[in-house]
Amino acid sequence: MRVLFIALGANRRAAVVEDSRQLVEAGGRPVVLVSQPGPWADDTFAPGVAVVPLSALAGRHWPMRAEQLLLFRGPSFVLRRVAGRRTQRADRLVAAYRRRVANRVHRRVFLPAYGRLWRGGEDRQLAAFLRERGPFEAIVVADAHSFPMAHRVLARLSGAAPRVAFRVDQLLSPARVTQSTIADHEDRG
């Protein structure tokens, strides 16, 4: 079973790591889509789990690559040369530049302009990801930040829609309602 885990919020990392491990043990092939690889650096996934950062998808479109070069990489290179390559001063200077200038320009200028000039640019990256990774039989939406992306993924898929779940055990075993759970519910209501 090919399952796409969408975990953009990174607040349920332990659950995603455990769920993907369970899926591998059950013979599944999970792909975990994360926003940035940084928060996941300390987490160890089971062999067979593919972790794909969303930032890698966005970096494929030429306007995004040009922006990264002109706004982030180029100035960081110059600042490191001016301050000394491997010093703490250079690291602080680059971090301050990114925090105070580059990130703000990216959010306030580039992203709105990108959305207006290249309508559907993000969806093209998503479509390319879905073509590369193959069809998914199920999608696990790991956190609240992932709902919009899950909606976009379902809108991009043609044909049979995959099952959507919030935990992998909802996929591995069918939900069973027993008489005791019905009686418990009736006693409360």
Q: What is the pLDDT of residues 14-65, one digit of tens each?
A: 999 999 999 999 888 999 998 888 888 888 999 999 998 877 776 667 888 8
Q: 136 with 157, same domain?
A: yes
Q: 111 with 129, same domain?
A: no
Q: What is the CATH number of the domain that holds 23?
A: 3.40.50
Q: How much of the chain exceeds pLDDT 90, in percent?
A: 30
Query: For 94-139, what is each residue's pLDDT tens digit?
Result: 999 999 999 999 989 988 888 788 776 667 777 778 888 878 889 9
Local structure of 6: helix, strand or coil: strand
Q: 54 with 129, same domain?
A: yes
Domain hosting residue 39, numbered range? 2-58+125-188
Supply the DSSP string of 102-146, one letter for each residue: IHHHIIIIIHHHHHHHSTTHHHHHHHHHHHHH---SEEEE-SGGG
Q: Of 78, 97, 117, which one is at a domain's C-terminal end?
A: 117
Q: 133 with 52, same domain?
A: yes
Q: 43 with 129, same domain?
A: yes
Local structure of 26: helix, strand or coil: coil
Q: 92 with 49, same domain?
A: no
Q: 12 with 53, same domain?
A: yes
Q: 51 with 129, same domain?
A: yes
Q: 178 with 130, same domain?
A: yes
Q: 105 with 140, same domain?
A: no
Q: 51 with 137, same domain?
A: yes
Q: How far apart are alpha carbons 115 and 16 in whole angstroms?
A: 31
Q: What is the pLDDT, as a whole number, of residue 180?
A: 37
Q: 129 with 52, same domain?
A: yes
**Sheet order of strands, 29-34 included:** 50-53, 29-34, 2-7, 138-141, 163-165
- Residues with Cβ within 8 Å of 67's Cβ and at least 6 positions away in sequence, in order, are 106, 110, 114
Helices 74-83/88-97 angle, 10° precision? 150
Q: How far apart are alpha carbons 56 and 73 in whole angstroms?
A: 15
* Residue 181: pLDDT over 60: no
Domain count, the chain: 2
* Residue 175: pLDDT over 60: no
Local structure of 147: helix, strand or coil: helix
Q: Of 117, 136, 155, which one is at a domain's C-terminal end?
A: 117
